[in-house]
Amino acid sequence: MARLTARAGRHSVSNTAAARRYAKALFSLAVEEGEVQSIRDQLDDMDGLFDANPELRRRLFQPLHPVVERRSVLIKVCERGGLSRSVQNFFSYLIDQRRLVDFTGIRDEYERLADESVGRVRAELRCASPLDEQQRERVTAALARRTGKQIDLSVTVDPSLLGGAIATVGGMVFDGSLKTQLARLRATLMKGSMQAITAPQDG
């Protein structure tokens, strides 16, 4: 696999500033209660429930129905799912603030904070062809050495890269794709050609 070179990058999360703020508040509460993993599991359960029931998601996420009605439905769903009182109160608060629509971003940010608290980060690897288990382990180990953290690696195959891979870890991008290397080579050649054309001619 091509060597990965680091460059600064933007976070690939889709959550808003509001989602990050609510996630941080929930995470702080979870730390105080010693329920970080439990609340993470409950958020995952609710996310799966919403994905499996698009009509429920639409009814709760879109403010087309009165707040009281949506809160009542959500509490029943939470109780049926065995969610803790803290999580039930949190969801009720999101409905009151018209922020349930940010749930996916809140869950993603909460997971990031939970991982960060134990020295683990999520890494996304885009590669031109599938990796076998040994290659996956080598990439995970290399990223762990680079970052000094435990790596939770997800892999996506992207044939457009032509070869190599691009790894995104937090705010850093490690780009070892053949596509990028060819683009850099082309830029270098173009620069050299322009310099040759514009250089003063002897005589």
Q: What is the reported pTM? A: 0.65
21-30, 77-86, 151-160, 169-178 — which one is most confidently predicted on average?
21-30
Q: Is residue 10 part of a domain?
A: no
Q: Is residue 203 part of a domain?
A: no
Last residue in a domain, options 79, 114, 149: 114
Looking at the structure, tell me whether residues 95 and 132 fall in a common domain: no
Query: How far is it, in rounded angstroms, from Cα 15 to Cα 79?
Result: 27
Q: Which residue has the higher pLDDT, 196 or 106?
A: 106
Residue with tokens 């082309």: 186
Last residue in a domain, options 55, 84, 114: 114
In the chain, the N- to C-terminal Cα span, in Å, equals: 50
Q: Is residue 21 part of a domain?
A: yes
Q: Is residue 71 part of a domain?
A: yes
* Confidence (pLDDT) at 106: 96
pLDDT band at 194 (very low <50, low <70, confident <90, very high): very low
Q: Is residue 5 part of a domain?
A: no
Looking at the structure, tell me whether residues 26 and 108 fall in a common domain: yes
pLDDT for 109-128, tens place per residue? 999 999 989 888 888 888 88
Which uninterrupted H or E stretch holds 166?
strand 165-169
Which CATH number characterizes residue 68's domain? 1.10.520.20
Looking at the structure, tell me whether residues 103 and 191 fall in a common domain: no
Kindly report the number of other CB atoms within 10 A of residue 106's CB atom.
26
Phi, psi of 111 (to 5 degrees): -60, -40
Looking at the structure, tell me whether residues 94 and 31 fall in a common domain: yes
Domain count, the chain: 2
17, two tokens: 């500033």
Looking at the structure, tell me whether residues 131 and 160 fall in a common domain: yes
* Confidence (pLDDT) at 64: 77
The chain-wide mean pLDDT, for the chain, equals: 82
* Confidence (pLDDT) at 38: 96
Q: Is residue 2 part of a domain?
A: no
> Quick one: residue 42, left, alpha or beta (phi over 0 = left, psi -120 to 50 = alpha)?
alpha
Query: How far is it, in rounded angstroms, from Cα 172 to Cα 175?
Result: 10
Query: How far is it, in rounded angstroms, from Cα 31 to Cα 9?
Result: 30
Looking at the structure, tell me whether residues 101 and 42 fall in a common domain: yes
Residue with tokens 């065995």: 82
pLDDT for 17-44, tens place per residue? 999 999 999 999 999 999 999 999 999 9
Q: With a cut of 80, say whether residue 103 has pLDDT above it.
A: yes
Q: Assign 20 to helix, strand or coil.
A: helix
Looking at the structure, tell me whether residues 76 and 128 fall in a common domain: no
Kindly report the number of other CB atoms within 10 A of residue 132's CB atom.
8
Q: With a cut of 60, say whether residue 72 has pLDDT above it.
A: yes
Q: Contact 94/43 with Cβ under 8 angstroms?
A: no
Looking at the structure, tell me whether residues 23 and 105 fall in a common domain: yes
Domain span including residue 145:
120-198
Q: Is residue 1 part of a domain?
A: no
